[in-house]
Amino acid sequence: MPNIMITETCNLRCPYCFASEFVNKKPKEMTLSDFKKALNFALSDGKDRQLGIIGGEPTLYPLINEVLRMALEDPRSDPVMIYTNGVALENILPQNLEDAKFRMLVNCNSPEDMGQKQFDKMRENLMRFKKDHYGEGRFRLSVNLYKPDFDYSYIIPIVQELEFDTIRLSISVPPKSKVSEQTALEYFRSMKPVALSFIGDMIRCGTLTGFDCNFLPECVLTKEERDGLMKVKDIFYSGLSKNYSRNFWQRAILCETHNCTPVIDILPDLNAIRCFGLSEHTKVPIDHFKDIKELRKFYIDNVDRPIINCSSSPECKDCYNRECGDCTGGCHYFRDEQFFGGKNIELDDAHKDAFFDHTYRCPTCGGELGEDALYGGCSCC
């Protein structure tokens, strides 16, 4: 699912922030006309209709309701997911919150990390959203485990109160300054106890954890741990298989897929990155690519395929799972310096001199939409 980053401003300073290269440094905001181009490019695939709106904190973007409305009313999108910390949810108009295509993923941070006042506001907002706008599957929580002694106890009463059946779990990568202190596998081994304990506590709440792209590599778990988690997963699956997608089940409780594909985040200056884990080295301007399919292929050919030849831990060097591309050994972030040598990726010959205009056009008649034609129609149709 491609994401559009509409602002680099954020009201929090999360210690694990995966967008820290951008957020609150010299925060940029996307202009409305660039949002239209980014939207047009993000939905150019024809198959992938999902769209993410991200920041910084997207609810702080002054034109948040305009961009949401444009994205929601575009017939090519479904669903439109906003990634938020939930503190300033009142900035979104009820007509957008209630739209059938609207989805929300709330990064549920601890009071220690966001401050008690902001935490209380987020909690109140979540309860209000559930009461006023809740619809089946429109709203999910996400938790980022970022240190071995992470105290996630704050989340249990929220999950119970909201009666959620799933929660997204991410094992956040360490900050750049610390990444060389451990190999990827040493890091994931140190995170295993807190991750297993979290999964177990969620199961006791009747809540399924679904891994984000940052998961525990398979070899970090013992056979007993894998078998135990699979048994529990089978029980949930036998009763709930139809409730969730195949993709979700692959990542539920025990992640059964151990590699990732390009996410594609479009930044406020209309450069794209493969994902935030590789943001420092994968910036390319979207107007050098015909459509998002072509950009995805560029990343696969120039990053995903060759990077498997680098190992993020000594154990991965001779591992069959790495050689055949079944396991990335954790996030590519752990080997980005090794692979990119501190440089940004270069455009290949096919894209160096290419130019494509992604101006937003009326999806019905193809006419160019002006600044005032925000909502997917133009004067002639």
Give the binding site for ligand SF4 (CB under 6 A). Answer: 185, 213-214, 217-219, 260, 263, 275-278, 313, 315-316, 319, 321-322, 327, 329, 331-333
What is the smallest separation between the CB atom of 120 and ligand SF4, expressed in angstroms? 31
What is the smallest separation between the CB atom of 152 and ligand SF4, expressed in angstroms? 21
Q: Please, are residues 345 and 302 in contact by the beta-carbon 8 Å criterion? A: yes
Question: Could you give the CA distance from residue 82 to residue 68 in angstroms, rounded to a whole number?
Answer: 9
What is the smallest separation between the CB atom of 347 and ligand SF4, expressed in angstroms? 20
Our CB check for ligand SF4 shows the closer of 146 and 276 to be: 276
Our CB check for ligand SF4 shows the closer of 217 and 376 to be: 217
What angle do helix axes 155-162 and 116-133 make, rounded to 10 degrees?
10
What is the smallest separation between the CB atom of 307 and ligand SF4, expressed in angstroms? 9
Residue 34, classified by CB atoms within 10 Å of its CB into exposed (0-12), middle (13-18) or buried (19+), is buried
Our CB check for ligand SF4 shows the closer of 329 and 376 to be: 329
Question: Could you give the CA distance from residue 297 to residue 212 in angstroms, rounded to a whole number?
Answer: 22
For tokens 């909502």, the residue is: 375
What is the smallest separation between the CB atom of 50 and ligand SF4, expressed in angstroms? 15
List the 284-285 sheet strands across, edge first.
208-211, 166-171, 139-145, 102-107, 80-84, 51-54, 3-5, 265-266, 271-273, 284-285
At a CB cut-off of 8 Å and minimum separation 6, what does 231 contact? none
Residue 183, phi then psi, degrees to nearest 5: -75, 165
Question: Could you give the CA distance from residue 315 to residue 364 in angstroms, rounded to a whole number?
Answer: 54
HEC string for 331-343: CHHHHHHHHHCCC
- Residue 174 in 3-state DSSP? coil
Our CB check for ligand SF4 shows the closer of 33 and 261 to be: 261
What is the smallest separation between the CB atom of 194 and ligand SF4, expressed in angstroms? 18
Question: Could you give the CA distance from residue 243 to residue 145 in angstroms, rounded to a whole number?
Answer: 26
Name the residue whose CB lies closest to ligand SF4. 277
What is the smallest separation between the CB atom of 220 and ligand SF4, expressed in angstroms? 7
What is the smallest separation between the CB atom of 121 and ligand SF4, expressed in angstroms? 29
Our CB check for ligand SF4 shows the closer of 260 and 347 to be: 260
Our CB check for ligand SF4 shows the closer of 57 and 336 to be: 336
Our CB check for ligand SF4 shows the closer of 314 and 366 to be: 314
Residue 308, phi then psi, degrees to nearest 5: -65, -15
Our CB check for ligand SF4 shows the closer of 251 and 358 to be: 251
What is the smallest separation between the CB atom of 245 and ligand SF4, expressed in angstroms? 18
Question: Could you give the CA distance from residue 196 to residue 173 in angstroms, rounded to a whole number?
Answer: 17
Position 65: which residue type?
N
Our CB check for ligand SF4 shows the closer of 71 and 185 to be: 185
Give the largest Cα separation in the chain, rounded: 65
CA separation, residue 267 to residues 21, 51, 68, 255, 361 (Å): 12, 14, 17, 29, 21
What is the smallest separation between the CB atom of 239 and ligand SF4, expressed in angstroms? 30
Our CB check for ligand SF4 shows the closer of 278 and 310 to be: 278
